[in-house]
Structure 1
Amino acid sequence: MQNTLHILNGDSSLHLFQKSGINGDKAIWREVLSDGLVLDSFGTDQFWQSRAAFMTAFTKTSSSDYHEKVIDEFKKIQNFKAYKEVVLWFEYDLFCQINLMALLHWFQQQDKADVKISLICVGQVDGYEKLMGLGELSFERYPELFEQRRILGRNDFNFASDAFQSFCSNNPKDMENFILLPSNEFPYLAKAFQAHLMRFPSSKSGLNLIEQEIIKLIESGKNTEIALIGALLKWQKYYGFGDLQYINYLNRLSPLLEKGQAITLKQNYHSTPIDRNYFLGGALVSEWEWDEDHQEIRLSQI
Structure 2
Amino acid sequence: MLHLVNGDVVGEKLKRAGVEGDILVWREIYTHGPAFAEMEKPAHRKLRADYLEETLGIPQAEYLRFCEQQERWADEFQGEIVLWFEHDLFDQTMLSLLLHRYERLGAARGQTMSKLSLICIGEYPGKPAFRGLGELEPSQLAGLLGSRIPVSDGMLRLGSRLWEAYASSEPAALMRLLESDTSTLPYADAAFRAHLARLPSSRNGLGSIEQATLEAVASGIGQPIPLFQEVSGRLSLLGLGDLEYWHWLSGMIGREAPLLEPLEEAPLRLPGYGGPAPDFSGAALRMTALGQDVLAGRMDWLEYKERTEWLGGVCVRTSNGWRWDAENGFVIKAGFGQ
- Length-normalised TM-score, structure 1: 0.92
Question: Is contact 1:84-1:115 (8 Å) kept?
Answer: no
Deviation at 1:127, TM superposition (A): 3.1
What is the deviation of 1:192? Answer: 0.6
Distance 2:165 2:113 in 1: 29
Question: Structure 1's 252 and 188: CA in aligned 2 closer, same or farther, altered over 3 A?
Answer: same
Partners of 2:141 and 2:151 in 1: how far apart? 19
Change in 2 beyond 3 A, CA 1:130/1:182: farther
C-alpha displacement of 1:115: 4.9
Partner of 2:175: 176
Correspondence for 1:263:
285
Alignment deviations for residues 110-144 of structure 1 (CA, whole Å, 9 cap, x no partner) = 13567510111121223332344110111111222
Q: 1:289 aligns with which of 305, 323, 333?
A: 323
The 8 Å contact of residues 258 and 264 in structure 1, kept in 2 or not, is answered as: yes
- Does the Cα contact within 8 Å between 2:87 and 2:237 map onto a contact in 1? yes
- Note the residue ranges of structure 2 that are not aligned, 5 or more in a row: 265-282, 294-298
Deviation digits for residues 81-105 of structure 1, max 9, x if unmatched?
xx22011111110011001101110
CA distance in 1, matches of 2:284, 2:130: 33
Structure 2 residue aligned with 1:226? 225
Report the counterpart of residue 38 of structure 1 in structure 2: 35
Deviation at 1:298, TM superposition (A): 0.8
Whole-angstrom distance in 1 between the partners of 2:312 and 2:162: 12
Which stretch shows the higher mean deviation, 25-34 or 259-268? 259-268
The match for 1:100 is 95
Separation in 2 of the partners of 1:177 and 1:90?
A: 24
Q: What is the match of residue 192 of structure 2?
A: 193
Tell me by how many angstroms 1:276 deviates: 5.8
**1:5·1:85 contact (CA, 8 Å) conserved in 2?**
yes
Tell me, yes or no, if the aligned pair for 2:122 and 2:130 is still in contact at 8 Å.
yes
User: Scaled by the length of structure 2, what TM-score is found?
Assistant: 0.83
Say which of 14, 20, 25 aligns to 1:23: 20
| Equivalent residues in 2 for 1:240-251, closer than 5 Å | 240-251=239-250
Instruction: State the alpha-carbon separation in 2 of the partners of residues 154 and 115 from structure 1.
Output: 9
CA contact (8 A) 1:94 1:193 kept: yes
DSSP 3-state at the match of 2:81: strand
Query: Which residue of 309, 315, 320 corresponds with 1:278?
Result: 309
Tell me the CA shift for residue 281 of structure 1: 1.2
The aligned counterpart of 1:12 is: 9
Larger mean CA deviation between 129-138 and 247-256 belongs to: 129-138
Q: 2:332 — aligned with what?
A: 298
Given residue 305 of structure 2, which amino acid in structure 1 is its aligned partner?
I
Question: Is residue 136 from structure 1 mapped to residue 167 from structure 2 by the alignment?
Answer: no
| Regions of 4+ moved over 6 Å | none
Contact 1:37-1:281 at 8 Å conserved across structures: yes
Letter of the aligned partner of 1:145 in structure 2?
Answer: L
State the secondary structure of the residue aligned to 1:127. Answer: coil
SS in 2 for 1:244: helix
Paired letter, 2:333: L
> What is the aligned-residue RMSD (CA, Å)?
1.8
Unaligned runs of 5+ in 1: none
The verdict on how the C-alpha distance between 1:209 and 1:114 changes in structure 2, with shifts beyond 3 A counting, is closer
- Sequence identity of aligned pairs in percent? 29
Aligned residues of 1:92 and 1:192 also touching (Cα < 8 A): yes
Give the structure 2 partner of residue 78 of structure 1: 75
Deviation at 1:160, TM superposition (A): 0.9
- Residues 146-186 of structure 1, C-alpha deviations (whole Å, 9 max, x = no match): 11101012221111111110011111011113432342221
> 1:276 & 1:296 partners in 2: Cα distance?
24
Structure 2: which amino acid aligns with 1:98?
A: T
Deviation for aligned residue 1:226 = 1.9
Q: CA deviation at 1:212?
A: 1.2
1:61 corresponds in structure 2 to: 58
Count of aligned pairs = 297
Contact map agreement 1:42 1:102 (CA 8 A) in 2: no
Q: What SS is found at the alignment partner of 2:236? A: coil
Distance in 2 between residues matched to 1:268 and 1:125, nearest whole Å: 43
Q: How many Å separate the matches in 1 of 2:143 and 2:176?
A: 33
CA distance in 2 between counterparts of 1:155 and 1:27 reads: 25
The residue number in structure 1 matching 2:204 is: 205
